[in-house]
Amino acid sequence: MRLTRRHYLAALPALGAAGLGGGFLYMLRHATQGTFDPKAVRNPRLGQAVPAFSPLPALPEQPTPCPGLSWQDFHTLTQPVLLLIWASWCLPCLEEIPFLRQHIAGGSTTSPLALWGVCYKDTPSQAAHWLEQAHHPFSRLGMDYDGQCAIEWGVTGVPESFLILPHPLTGSRIVWHGTGSLTEALYREQIQPFLRGAL
């Protein structure tokens, strides 16, 4: 039988349903095996230079002055930067603060990292309260009031983290991306290998 365009068009719904069914079976199989991670999404910015974004203002009326954040700041890097995108209303963001303070933000004298932050869709008063509880671990902090900066970075939720290394041609490059709270194991297994290669 000669296949016509009408036959191909008629087959499209069935092919689409088969594709969706296959995807569902893949997720179901890995979920039952405990190997499916719904957050394991590759960020489109990974491996690229830091995306251009409008300058983010500093948090107003901070007890300890901390500058805001701009795209240009990433093009004068002298050390690796861990960028944390967070919000005061995000419980996992608060849960990772003890780790950040101990290993990155001054609690450890051996950390080669600078910790910068982007506060996502938050109010100054709530952000200031959160920072007071966290003893303000950031050396730079920008307020992303409308969430546009997070969109440029390809963020899908908070917290998300990016490791940025200095780069001789582009100024900087995103080499690692993580979703959810940072942990000791994640830092040791995924972030430290990049740092050893950069130093």
- With vertex at residue 91, the alpha carbon angle to CA 84 and CA 160, rounded to the nearest 5 degrees, is 25
Give the integer Cα–Cα distance in Å for 195 and 101. 18
Domain limits, the chain: 1-37, 71-198
Query: Residue 152's closest CA among 77, 61, 50, 42?
Result: 50
| Residue 97: per-residue pLDDT | 83
- Residue pLDDT, tens place only, 59-104: 998 777 899 999 999 998 989 999 999 999 999 998 888 888 877 7
The CA-based dihedral angle spanning residues 129, 132, 133, 138, taken in that order and rounded to the nearest 10 degrees: 110
Give the integer Cα–Cα distance in Å for 19 and 28. 14
Low-confidence ranges of the chain (pLDDT < 70): 1-42, 105-111, 198-199
Whether domain 71-198 has CATH 3.90.550.10: no
Considering the entire predicted model, what is its pTM? 0.76
First to last CA, the chain: 66
| Residue 105: per-residue pLDDT | 66
Note whether 101 and 107 are within 8 A (CB).
yes
| Residue 15: per-residue pLDDT | 42
Buried b (16+ CB within 10 A) or exposed e, 70-92: bbebbeebeebbbbbbbbbebee
